[in-house]
Amino acid sequence: MPVTGAMRFLSGIQPSGTPHLGNYFGAIHQHVQASRSLGGGDSAFFFIADYHALTTTHDATKLRQQVRDVAATYVALGLDVEQAVLFRQSDVPEVTELTWLLASVTGMGLLERAHSYKDKVSNNIKPSVGLFTYPILMAADIVAYDSDVVPVGGDQVQHVEMAQDMVTHFNSTFSVEALKRPEWHLSPTPKVPGTDGQKMSKSYNNAIGIFVEGKEQKKQVNAIVTDSREPAEAKEPDSVNAYGVLSLFLTREERVEWEDRLRAGGVGYGDLKKALMEKMDARFGEARAVYRDLMTTPAGEERLEAILARGAARARPVAQATLWRCLEAVGMPNTRHRLQP
């Protein structure tokens, strides 16, 4: 579906580790572009899903650090925080109340079908109740902000479909139109390969960080698995792991050129890795310095906190309005304003 400025575009990002090139090409880059092209009017919302991260991260220092890391990454990469609304999920606690309202009308069967839950359990993550009800919290995130379009990677499509079911069910159970039905929008780069050729992921130990530099960058890029073919040998581009990562940085013309050279023979793996590091430096060099400052200085931390606080102040009234509509619908009229001291 074409995304236009008249719609609200919302996405959540879990703070679960330092963002890598898979996150960049699969999600962050599109978010940054959307923040610049959709225009103002609060049409793009991005939040750092710390309530969700709590289902797997039980270390306060680590969680705080990872939230800062995601915020710093988005700001350093140029998210337009004037146009887009960037906030921390837990700064809008109404979303947890909405989760309960949705949970009360959601069947166990729906949640039991969630692939992501089954995958996590099979990867030995201890299944808490929170992990099981994760899709309801995600649905609450989506509906709280009257979202029209939710850009996601393939693994999250089912969760948005579950949110659609919850919206239909809530509205029909209470005979209201309190919640808006969202649509998912699949990222145009569904799978960035990692150093081993599998999907890049921080859980597979095959990731290349966005902002790595110097020795660390060399180490991560050199970890890209190669075979014993000599530079002189002709190679099909698809069969070359390092090219899979490099090609993401290339323009159409550069791709044609590299692919012709690979097919002709004469390109070694070292050449591809060197070109990749140069492309990373050119694309992320300036952002790296901003990122470093945001991550390591008190002024950087203050700047991020101010951005997140402003984002929450813009997001919260939207979630409150949704919650109040829902409370009214279920028979819990919002009397809180009268209960305030």
Binding site for ligand TRP (CB under 6 A): 10-12, 14, 49, 52, 138, 141-142, 150, 152, 156
Distance in angstroms (rounded) separating the CA atoms of residues 84 and 141: 16
Q: Do the bridges between strand 149-152 and strand 183-186 make them parallel or antiparallel, or are there none, so unpaired?
A: parallel
Active site residue 120: yes
144 versus 245: smaller Cβ distance to ligand TRP = 144
Among residues 180, 191, 202, 218, which one is catalytic? 202
Residues 289-318 that bind ligand ADP (CB under 6 A): none
The C-alpha atoms of residue 166 and residue 133 are separated, in whole angstroms, by 13
CA distance 162 to 136: 8
Note whether 26 binds ligand ADP by CB under 6 A: yes
| Residue (23 or 106) nearer to ligand ADP, CB | 23
62 catalytically annotated: no
Across the beta sheet with 183-186, the strand order is: 85-88, 44-48, 9-13, 149-152, 183-186
Query: Which of 56, 57, 65, 189 touches ligand ADP by CB under 6 A?
Result: 189
Q: Does 34 help bind ligand ADP (rule: CB under 6 A)? A: no
Structure-block tokens of residue 30? 């599109």
The one catalytic residue in 62, 180, 199, 218 is 199
CB of residue 142 vs ligand TRP: minimum separation in angstroms?
5
The 8-class DSSP code of residue 26 comes to I
Q: Least separation, in Å, of the C-beta of 236 and ligand ADP?
A: 22
How many residues bind to ligand ADP according to rule CB under 6 A?
Answer: 17
State the minimum distance, in angstroms, from the CB of residue 106 to ligand TRP: 16
Give yes or no: 202 in active site. yes
CA nearest 35: which of 300, 307, 282? 307
What Cα–Cα distance (Å) separates residue 205 from each residue in 124, 128, 208, 220?
A: 17, 25, 9, 10
HSE-CB of 207 using CA atoms within 13 angstroms: 18
**Tokens, residue 297:** 């200085």
C-alpha 165/C-alpha 208 separation (Å) is 37
Based on the shown chain and the rule CB under 6 A, indicate whether residue 62 belongs to the binding site for ligand ADP. Answer: no
Q: Which of residues 126-165 bind ligand ADP (CB under 6 A)?
A: 152-153
User: Could you give phi then psi for residue 192, rounded to 5 degrees?
Assistant: -90, 125
199 to 218, contacts with ligand ADP by CB under 6 A? 199-203
Which residues are known to be catalytic? 120, 199, 202
Catalog residues that contact ligand ADP under the rule CB under 6 A: 14, 16, 22-23, 26-27, 152-153, 189-192, 199-203
